Chains A and B, each alone.
Chain A
């Protein structure tokens, strides 16, 4: 059964090669849908299997510390399943995006490249391998943005390119530094050796790793590349990248923090919490000050991920469960909002709030869906966001961290404000331009949005299964000894 781990890796890879030699557009569309479907079923199977045991695959049968291994535990499985579910929902929009693109084979090739890199980053059990996947993720995402948005906007993408180049250098530096101190790159063996090397050294290593990953996650103060890069490319691709990309880095941060750095100096923890709080607050202010539908939503990711990093940095099991729950809710709500935004922008051609308005007269149902998903994002009951925010507040209260508590409360208020700004400007106010085009949402995309909203509402009404899934995942994540045994097979 362990060979099933290869399916989420090999399928996008094979499809990428096939996409390069296929010029038929209909076939390409069919291929993307079937790839998303295969990913969905295979990760669902992995999710089911991971409930019983931790699956480890030693590539080429090289035993653990010597070879590269892939593994799936409950955390990996939960988020792989979530990501492939989102990919399945975004696939119709991505297919639509290929219509406006003049380099169709390359577009699909890079799309599969991003999918491949996302799955591989989540599965990898080797630190250097992880770095290589990050590099692949960055290059294919960058090229996808350029191909889809058009090469003539090259200047807008330079921020994205430079920020990510510097990040990958920092990441390589931190990986190499960890190797120089511990003499191994295997995550399981590192989790045995690194904590024995002393708190001072692990604090330094943790700091440099955090600085690399915080750039990737898009935390304060270096989050400018995120809205700028996503603002220049096409709406299809920005929806796809904004709903998936930064979350991968966040999950890698969580895993490395729990496995490799169980104990660091309290000043370092405070530093991480402060950065998280600052990005929570600065992110939401930056979002609320924008005047473009898409940029409000994409900049807002910074603030949301700040919440999750703050929860992770509290490092009590309760806080980590809260962070995971928040991440699931954030991914669902944000994807739904971005899908609404891109369908509005694609059918009316408008993205600037000043020139939009009175969409409620054109499409009441879409307005209802927007209100529900915005409520889900801002954390109003009875939607999923309410429980997520409540859990984070409760966890920070229990950890007696009043800074996180206060900032989370204040930020929640501004989140609601930025969503209300979109609601009033886009949907409610009288349009400046009276003869606006009708908002026609393609039926598959509308179906995806409806499904996401239904999920948000049902999680909000009955959050227990998801909370239990997150609890199980975090329990297994924090049980480092059984992870070491499963990977290294009992040997030292």
Chain B
């Protein structure tokens, strides 16, 4: 399970880095979204817990190995943050599109 998630995360990160090579602003930001999802998976892995039992302690679960609640809280936080970042990126795309009538950077051989 851990190996599968790790593979998934690295695949997402690789895809994101591929998308970063593009000049299209939307593709770059798609890369940003993907890499943040890869990071969420990494956060999940950092808990070292393969258990799927929720961490509510009662008589039956107290004896079992429960999943790590802290990493779930961290993922929740970072998902919220990446939502906000996504919104910010979309706003930037909107502003760019409004100003330059396109979303491709340096379209006519211009430089920064």
Q: How many residues of A contact B (CB 8 A)?
A: 28
Question: When the two chains form their complex, are residues B84 and A139 in contact, meaning their CB atoms are under 8 A apart?
Answer: yes
Q: Which of A127-162 contact B (CB under 8 A)?
A: 128, 132, 135, 139, 142-143, 146, 151-152, 154-159, 161-162
Assembled-state Cα–Cα distance A159/B71 (Å): 32
Binary CB contact string for chain B from 30 to 45 against chain A (1 if under 8 A, 0 otherwise) = 0010011001001101
Q: Which of A458-474 contact B (CB under 8 A)?
A: none
Q: How many residues of B contact A (CB 8 A)?
A: 28
Question: When the two chains form their complex, are residues A155 and B85 in contact, meaning their CB atoms are under 8 A apart?
Answer: no
Return the contact of B88 from the options A139, A156, A159 (Cβ within 8 A): A139
Q: A128-B74, A155-B112, A158-B92 are in contact. Are A165 and B32 (CB under 8 A)?
A: yes
A194 to B: closest C-beta gap in Å: 15
Question: When the two chains form their complex, are residues B81 and A176 in contact, meaning their CB atoms are under 8 A apart?
Answer: no
Q: Which of A172-226 contact B (CB under 8 A)?
A: 172-173, 176-177, 179-180, 183, 185
Assembled-state Cα–Cα distance A146/B85 (Å): 15
Question: When the two chains form their complex, are residues B100 and A132 in contact, meaning their CB atoms are under 8 A apart?
Answer: no
Q: A132-B77, A159-B112, A180-B45 are in contact. Are A151 and B95 (CB under 8 A)?
A: yes
Question: When the two chains form their complex, are residues A135 and B81 in contact, meaning their CB atoms are under 8 A apart?
Answer: yes
Binary CB contact string for chain A from 376 to 408 against chain B (1 if under 8 A, 0 otherwise) = 000000000000000000000000000000000
Q: Chain B contacts of A143 at CB under 8 A?
A: 88
Question: When the two chains form their complex, are residues B99 and A152 in contact, meaning their CB atoms are under 8 A apart?
Answer: yes
Binding site secondary structure of chain A: helix
Q: A169-B36, A172-B78 are in contact. Are A180 and B46 (CB under 8 A)?
A: yes
Question: When the two chains form their complex, are residues B78 and A165 in contact, meaning their CB atoms are under 8 A apart?
Answer: no
Assembled-state Cα–Cα distance A156/B70 (Å): 39
Pick 28 A–B contacts, CB within 8 A, sort by A: A132-B81, A135-B81, A135-B85, A139-B85, A151-B95, A151-B99, A154-B92, A154-B95, A155-B100, A156-B112, A157-B92, A158-B92, A158-B105, A161-B89, A161-B92, A165-B32, A165-B85, A169-B36, A169-B39, A172-B78, A173-B42, A176-B39, A176-B43, A179-B46, A179-B71, A180-B45, A180-B46, A180-B47
Which residues of B are at the interface with A, using a C-beta cutoff of 8 A? 28, 32, 35-36, 39, 42-43, 45-48, 70-71, 74, 77-78, 81, 84-85, 88-89, 92, 95-96, 99-100, 105, 112
Which residues of A are at the interface with B, using a C-beta cutoff of 8 A? 128, 132, 135, 139, 142-143, 146, 151-152, 154-159, 161-162, 165, 169, 172-173, 176-177, 179-180, 183, 185, 228
